[in-house]
Structures are given as C-alpha cells and as structure tokens.
C-alpha cells in the first residue's frame, strides 16, 4: 500500500510537471508568434506575417490542449472529458496549420508565389483537420469492440499522418530554402540563416516525436519522456528559427 501511494504521488508530480512545462512552452510560442507578426507588419513582409501567425496558432492550440488536460485531471466528469478530447482535435488541427505556414514561408521566400504543391498541402491540411475532429469529437467514446472502432483507428491514423506529412514537407522545404540562403554574399544574413537552418533540423526531430506521441497514451513513462523531448525540441526550434528569420537588432549586433 505504501509503495502504491508513493507511485501514485510520483505519477501526479510527473503529470503536473508536464502541465507546467506545457504552459511555459505555449507561452513562449505565443510570444514568438506575436513578435514575428509585429516584425512582419513593420517591414511589410507577408511571408513573415504568415509564419508568425503559425507560431501564434500552434501556441494557442497546444495551450487549449493543456487546459483540457488540467480540467480533466481536476474535474473528470463526462462533459469535461469530452472537452479535453475536443482540445486534442484543436491542437492537432492548429499544429498542422503551423506546419503549413512553414511551407508557405519557404515557397514565398524562394519564388515569391504559391505553387501547386502549396495548394495541395492546403488541401491536405483541411483534410487533416476534418479527420482530427471526426476522431476526437464525432467518434469520441468509441472503444475497442464497438461498431465504429475501425473508423476511429482509420481517422486517427489519417489525422496523425496528415499532420506529420505536412510537417515534414514544410520543414524540408524550409531547410532547402535556408541552405540556399547560406550561399548568400551577406555575412550577417548567412549567420542568421545558420540559426534558422539548425532550428528547422530540430523541427524535424520534433515532428517525428509528434508522430509517435498520440500512440503512447497507454504508456505513461514513454509518454512523459516523449512529451518532454517534443516540447523541448519544438521550443528550441522555434527560438532558433525566430532569431534567424526575424533577426532582432539585439541579436544581430552580437553576430
């Protein structure tokens, strides 16, 4: 009994640590989003504004998810548990939109226009959002053995794959664009894009962890480790990308 009590207390500590880490990560993402949006508007750069909106949206989406988890831990009523599930759909949807904005930034930076792949990726984003809400709202409460369980597995898999695929396409498009910038003559610009390049490499790591995250719901230990690594990778990637893309004056002076 004593050991069980100790394990329960440790589990509770881990859960609240994850919640606090989540709020810190989400606050930073929202701040980065606002700063990037303001910087883009100041110089009239639409692609920077698009990326800033992406940072802001993923921060808000993940914040809603964390709030849903906290409410479910404190008030585990059926209504609150449904709200928590809905925030999962919101989080997945806005994360996919964020990954889309990375691709749009890269396209506009390279060609100054939206291409066929971008339009296709917008369609994939809409499809992923639809699958996310089908999974975590319309099929909420469906369990193994229920008639709709096959549909639940299918829609969840499609939502996660759609989000991950959008993320990989966005990240690798950005990496390709950043590598081209590393060959620029301007030494300050080259140094800035080295940060953005490294940031997007970390984003690839984060996207990979995001893919595995939903499938670890029944493995608390693995979920804890992946959540910490995922949040840390996303946060580091966002900070490095912001420094490289926006290049705030205090940062540029130190290059």
pLDDT on residue 8: 53
pLDDT on residue 10: 55
Dihedral sign of CA atoms 85, 89, 95, 99 in order: positive
Q: Distance between CA atoms of 123 and 223, rounded to whole angstroms?
A: 30
Phi, psi of 139 (to 5 degrees): -100, 15
Band of pLDDT at residue 9, cut at 50, 70 and 90? low
Range ranked top by mean pLDDT from 13-22, 110-119, 196-205, 224-233: 196-205
Q: Distance between CA atoms of 247 and 115, rounded to whole angstroms?
A: 27
pLDDT digits (tens, 9 = 90+) for 35-68: 999 999 999 999 999 999 999 999 999 999 999 9
Name the DSSP class of 45. -
Phi, psi of 46 (to 5 degrees): -65, -40
Q: Identify the CATH number of the domain defined by range 8-252.
A: 1.20.1070
Which of 202-206, 211-215, 236-240, 248-252 is least confident? 211-215
Is the pLDDT score of 185 beyond 90? no
Confirm if 91 and 64 have CB atoms less than 8 A apart.
yes
Helix axes 78-111, 46-74, angle to 10 degrees: 160
Other C-beta atoms closer than 10 Å to the C-beta of 134 total 19
Q: Distance between CA atoms of 246 and 60, rounded to whole angstroms?
A: 21
Is the pLDDT score of 4 beyond 50? no
DSSP E strands, the chain: none
Domain boundaries, given as residue ranges, for the chain: 8-252
Q: What are the percentages of helix, strand and coil residues in the chain, rounded to 5?
A: 85, 0, 15
Confirm if 25 and 234 have CB atoms less than 8 A apart.
yes
With a CB cutoff of 8 Å and minimum separation 6, the contacts of 50 are 40, 101, 104, 105, 108
Average pLDDT value for the chain: 90
Q: Distance between CA atoms of 202 and 142, rounded to whole angstroms?
A: 35
Indicate the pTM of the whole model: 0.91
pLDDT digits (tens, 9 = 90+) for 81-122: 999 999 999 999 999 999 999 999 999 999 888 999 999 999
Q: Distance between CA atoms of 84 and 91, rounded to whole angstroms?
A: 11
Is the pLDDT score of 161 beyond 90? yes
| Residues 108-113: contacts with CB under 8 Å, at least 24 apart | 108/46, 108/47, 108/50, 109/47, 109/177, 110/176, 110/177, 110/180
């Amino acid at each position: 009994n004593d050991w069980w009590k100790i394990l329960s207390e440790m589990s509770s500590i881990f859960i609240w640590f994850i919640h606090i880490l989540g709020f810190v990560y989400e606050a930073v993402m929202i701040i980065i989003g606002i700063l990037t949006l303001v910087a883009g508007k100041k110089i009239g750069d639409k692609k920077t504004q698009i990326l800033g909106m992406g940072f802001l949206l993923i921060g808000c989406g993940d914040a809603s998810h964390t709030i849903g988890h906290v409410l479910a831990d404190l008030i585990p009523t059926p209504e609150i548990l449904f709200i928590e599930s809905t925030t999962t759909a919101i989080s997945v949807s806005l994360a996919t939109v964020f990954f889309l904005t990375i691709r749009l930034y890269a396209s506009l930076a390279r060609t100054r226009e939206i291409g066929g792949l971008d339009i296709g990726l917008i369609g994939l984003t809409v499809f992923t959002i639809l699958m996310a809400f089908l999974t975590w709202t319309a099929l909420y409460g469906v369990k193994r053995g229920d008639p709709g369980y096959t549909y639940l597995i299918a829609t969840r898999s499609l939502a996660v794959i759609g989000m991950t695929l959008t993320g990989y396409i966005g990240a690798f498009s950005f990496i390709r664009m950043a590598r081209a910038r590393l060959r620029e003559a301007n030494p300050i610009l080259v140094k800035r894009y080295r940060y953005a390049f490294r940031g997007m490499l970390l984003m690839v790591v984060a996207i990979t962890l995001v893919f595995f995250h939903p499938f670890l719901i029944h493995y608390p230990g693995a979920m804890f480790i992946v959540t910490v690594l995922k949040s840390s990778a996303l946060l580091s990637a966002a900070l490095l990308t912001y420094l490289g893309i926006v290049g705030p004056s205090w940062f540029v002076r130190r290059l």
